[in-house]
A and B are shown apart, each in its own frame.
Chain A
Amino acid sequence: MKNIFIISWYTLREAFARKVFIFFAAISLIFIIGLAIVFSLLNTDSIISGMNPSDNKMVLAEIITKIQLAITAPLSNLCLLLAIFSSSSFIPVMLEKGNIDLLLSKPISRTQLLYGKYLGGTLVVFLNIAFLIIGAWIIISLKFSYWNFNFPLVIFVITFTFAVLYSIVVLCGILFRSSVPGMMLAYFIFLILSPALIFIKLQLQTWSGKELLKGVVDGLYYIIPKTSELMGTINLNVGQGKFISDFQPVLSSFLFLILIMFFCDYLLKRKDF
């Protein structure tokens, strides 16, 4: 465990050194400052009274939470894309000749090395997302004088979504010792495959017949991580403090993550350097 912590800590330092961390933080800071400026110029009272003429506190809370999510959701998605881009090289760099030889000559197992690097990459993204979400949350809460303590929990949902996609990046990094294939595959799943599968699945429900196609789509739907749902409905429910009625997207994505990481471990343990 100590070795995993050491590798994670130095991955964090690597991210700092590569300016990845600072670049992220700068984008988040610009957004937070921009939000503060926009809010200081807007008369939010008239907006809210327009949306909630009855001045019902429950409705007010929901409106504010939705404003928070509407503001942070696009940026969270952008941050996720940037996170994949910036963390994709951690594993290929570690596996470079001269780097890996030194690491494997120390009393650290390949499994510890893998999980240390994986957790380090995830920690970098967690800190960045936390900075953005908490910053936005404080600005919005101060402006509306309403503190939705469920909202910061979306940090964990976004980080979890990243962790699932990052497992794919790690797998490709081990297989190809390059950051590009993993990055492309993660983007493909996040931007195209996951949204497309849920869309096709919903469409197929209304069609009769086509059992084979339904089977294929269903199979793919359950295998591929459900990043669209995680960043969509799950994020929304968590942010609003609502009960999550269907844990399937979380559980199946988590299972995917576990399987991919086990496979990464299996491959790394057998790889010649």
Chain B
Amino acid sequence: MNAVEITNISKTYTSSFRKNKVDALVDLNISVPAGSVFGLLGPNGAGKTTLIKILLSICFPTSGTAKILNEDTDNYKLKYRIGYLPENHKFPSYLSGGDVLRYFGRLSGLEGLSLDNKIDELLELVKMTQWKKLKVKGYSKGMMQRLGIAQALINDPELIFLDEPTDGVDPIGRKEIRDILSELKLQNKTVFLNSHLLSEVEMVSDRVAILNKGKLIREGTVKELTEKKHEYSLELENNLDGEVYLNLASHYNFAQIKDGRYTALVSDTMELNKLIDALRAQEASIKEIIQKKSTLEEMFINLINEADKKNNL
């Protein structure tokens, strides 16, 4: 089952005088499996926040449909099952941290002792218990983020949208937020994560989608996206004999990096096997063969650059 199903969603913003049109999202199709952590990546202005806002009916699509937890997004009662941490959120400055959670908890249908207990539990989770009675106008950016995560979880949602959850949070705080996300995943909750911090997305996400200028340019598991399909690193017991090495290098895209370590760029698995056969025929002892990977960040930058080049052509 998919927790989020986006079908042909487009969003065009038109200026007040109807002269300028900006395509924020273009014919987008994305599915988010229930119980997974889904990372949405993209440069500034890619349409990530717009997409989340459409899913939450904070803004409306120009065309296309979306379903959340098998229900239409325009049903506001669906939000009993959803949590959301917006980017640059503002809490009423006259309320304390505890009061903020009480306010949003009451709006989410909670009350009485169960709400009191939930507030204490969430403040404990985000390590904000000692600041419960302090007015939020005195909070730092990191504290606001932690409180924001707590309010997103106040109704024990099945699906949580987090827009830049680690924005302004120190490294220890980021680690704690990652732990919270892992805990949510263990509880079989679906997390829709929108972040600029690619290394973090890489660490917690099961699936990732990359948006650029409103278009989906890549989607898949982190493994699928970071794998360098035909590039392998080979470690041999000993260095190859000079003549053998030159012979192999003339037939294959094969090079020595350092003592005993070689890199091979092949066209497919068959060519890789041929190379292995050739090495074995020379009685080379192979210690390991590893498919090379790029980081999500490298892959992301390459993809965006490629997409921009295509757009400029």
Q: Which residue numbers of A lie inside 8 Å of B, CB to CB?
A: 3, 6, 10, 13-14, 16-18, 96-109, 270, 272-273
Does B17 sit within 8 A of A, measured CB to CB?
A: no
Give the distance to chain B from A264, nearest Cβ to Cβ, in Å: 18
> Distance (Å) between the CB of A12 and the closest chain B CB?
11
Query: Contact at B60–A13, with CB atoms within 8 Å?
Result: no
Q: Shortest distance in angstroms between B238's beta carbon and chain A's nearest beta carbon?
A: 62
Give the residue of A6, A99, A101, A102 whose beta carbon is less than 8 angstroms from that of B106: A6
Question: Complex Cα distance A10/B104, Å?
Answer: 11
Contact yes or no, A272 B79, CB < 8 A: no
CB-based contact B103/A10 at 8 Å: yes
Chain A residues touching B, majority SS: helix
- CB neighbours (8 Å) of B13 from chain A are 272
How many chain B residues touch A (CB < 8 A): the figure is 32
Residues in chain A near residue B60, CB distance under 8 A: 270, 272
A17 to B99, CA, bound (A): 13
**Cβ-defined contact, A107 with B108, below 8 A:** yes
Return A120 CB to nearest CB of chain B, in Å. 13
Measured CB to CB, the residues of B under 8 A from A are 13, 53, 56-60, 76-80, 82-84, 86, 88-95, 103-104, 106-109, 151, 161
Cβ–Cβ < 8 Å partners of A13 in chain B: 92, 94-95
Can you spell out 6 A-B residue pairs with CB atoms less than 8 angstroms apart?
A: A6-B106, A10-B92, A101-B56, A101-B89, A106-B107, A107-B77
CB atoms of A105 and B79 under 8 A apart = yes
Residues of chain A lying within 8 A (CB to CB) of residue B78? 107
Cβ A104 vs Cβ B89 within 8 A? no
Considering the chains assembled together, what is the distance between the CA atoms of A85 and B156 in angstroms? 40
**Closest B residue by C-beta to A7:** B107
Closest B residue, CB atoms, query A273: B58
When chains A and B are docked, how far (Å) is the Cα of A172 from the Cα of B221?
48
Given the complex of chains A and B, what is the CA–CA distance between A96 and B84 in angstroms? 17
A107 touches B94 (CB 8 A): no
| A17 and B109 alpha carbons, distance in the complex (Å) | 25
- What residues of chain A lie closer than 8 Å to B95, measured between beta carbons? 13
Interfacial chain A residues near B106, Cβ < 8 Å: 6
- Choice from B53, B58, B79, B93 contacting A107 with Cβ under 8 Å: B79
The reply to whether B58 and A101 form a contact with Cβ atoms under 8 Å apart is: yes
Task: Decide yes or no: A101 and B86 within 8 Å by CB, A13-B94, A108-B76, A272-B59 being known contacts.
Answer: yes
